[in-house]
Amino acid sequence: MIKGNALIGQSGGPTSVINSSLAGVIEAALSSSFIGDIYGMNYGIEGFMQEMLYDLGMQPRKVIEGLRHTPSSALGSSRHKVQESDFPVILNVLKKYNIRYFFLIGGNDTMDTIHRVEAYCKKERYDLIGIGIPKTVDNDLFGTDHTPGFGSAAKSNILNVMQAGILARDMQKVDKFVIYQTVGRDAGWLAAATALARKNPDDAPHLIYTPEFNFDQDKFLKDAEKCIKTYGWVSIVCGEGIKYADGTPVSSSKVKDKFNNVEFGAMGGTSVAISLHKMISSELGYRGEFQITESLIMSDFVRASAVDLEEAYQCGVEAIRLAEKEETGVMVSIKRTSNNPYAIEFGKVPLKDVAVSAKPMPSEYFNKEGNFVSPAFIDYVKPLIGDLPEFVRLEKKFAKIN
């Protein structure tokens, strides 16, 4: 068994529970007889190449414990795409600090980073165990039932749509529609989860549009008009990544990041919610609102899911278990063994199967029209969220004078 020091990093967008995973890795590593010092990358792989390292073993116990209840990325994050010229630098720093255990917490692009670093070290005959720990609010990682971060971000979205829906329902004489946009570049998991806000047929949301389906403007306007005639108003949820049949983003954004991902709503483009708002206003003549949360749902700890927090922590612990078994080039995965009662077990999946690609929602999780979810999806997502508030409405008992 290799003996050496450990390195932990956080990459990509933050979540409400990513620090819980960090706490799990640190606490399990402190108990390992194979791991010496525990270092943390300050600002991801960029900071690591500049030797910006936290000595996590020197952190007070209350700080490590407090990570389980602190949102965002405590180590500082990065979206740097590793270049070929970076690998020699990375290897030199690994050698300098005798790092033999390499853990990265993140999503698709993060798994690509650790996969490439681990493969480079193997080619250079440097013994390094590389383990990925899943994290993404988008829930689009292959090889795992769901990802830590999704449940909490979904719950935040659900509560936003639920409360905004009550507002819109009561203001329907002023505004006939409300559009809520959530993150989700290639998959609609977060947008779809807002269906849990709907307890009654006229509750928000009425329509949900995700990247899994080509966007059809004419059909969209007909869907919206039908809801307005039926309920007096319409609540619409859209994922930021919805596209037309020719692949053009509805947001009209043409800006891409270092990983060649479209940056929706960036310079030169209009956000999806604003685009849809303009369609309804100009074509149907109604007044309405749009709401765009962007990264706010990624660090909404007040609404964090208890299930999500615990699973995030256990994913960190499981990463150390895998490393002690000399597993490398894998990501911790979650396998659901029961829906009711909800139960999971941890496993592993090769990093090469996870890196870069995004996992869309399966077709059976949508209705036939592609504008709302199916009961199967409700069964899938419900255990990940936890309890939701129950709101009341006045009964339609109007005054009468005889």
Q: How confident is the model at residue 370 (pLDDT cuts 50, 70, 90)?
A: very high
Distances (CA, A) of 108 to 133, 290, 333: 11, 29, 13
Residues 142 and 223 occupy one common structural domain = no
Residue 261's contacts (CB-CB under 8 Å, 6 or more residues apart) are 185
390 domain-assigned: no
Residues pairing with 319 in the sheet: none
Q: What is the 3-state secondary structure (H, E, C) of 1-22?
A: CCCEEEEEEECCCCCCCHHHHH
Residues 182 and 223 occupy one common structural domain = yes
E strands, 111-159, are 129-134
Residues 161 and 142 occupy one common structural domain = no
Query: How many Å apart are CA 364 and CA 280, to the nearest integer?
Result: 29
Peptide bond into 389 cis (omega under 30): no
Q: Summarize pLDDT for 146-176 with one digit per residue, the tens.
A: 999 999 999 999 999 999 999 999 999 999 9
Residues 255 and 380 occupy one common structural domain = yes
Q: Summarize pLDDT for 130-140 with one digit per residue, the tens.
A: 999 999 999 99
398 domain-assigned: no
- Which residue in 104, 81, 106 sits closest to 14, CA to CA? 106
Q: How confident is the model at residue 267 (pLDDT cuts 50, 70, 90)?
A: very low
Is 353 a residue of the active site? no
Residues 164 and 254 occupy one common structural domain = yes
Catalytic hit among 138, 140, 223, 308: 138
402 domain-assigned: no
Give the dihedral sign, CA 94/99/101/106. Answer: negative
Residues 154 and 139 occupy one common structural domain = no
Residue 69's contacts (CB-CB under 8 Å, 6 or more residues apart) are 20, 301, 309
Query: How many Å apart are CA 370 and CA 231, to the nearest integer?
Result: 20
Angle, vertex CA 113, rays to CA 317 and CA 39, nearest 5: 50
Residues 18 and 129 occupy one common structural domain = yes
Residues 268 and 224 occupy one common structural domain = yes
Q: Into how many domains does the chain fold?
A: 2
261 domain-assigned: yes
Residues 197 and 324 occupy one common structural domain = no
Query: How many Å apart are CA 354 and CA 346, to the nearest integer?
Result: 16
Residues 80 and 188 occupy one common structural domain = no
- Domain residues for the domain of 296 are 150-301+360-385
Q: How confident is the model at residue 295 (pLDDT cuts 50, 70, 90)?
A: confident
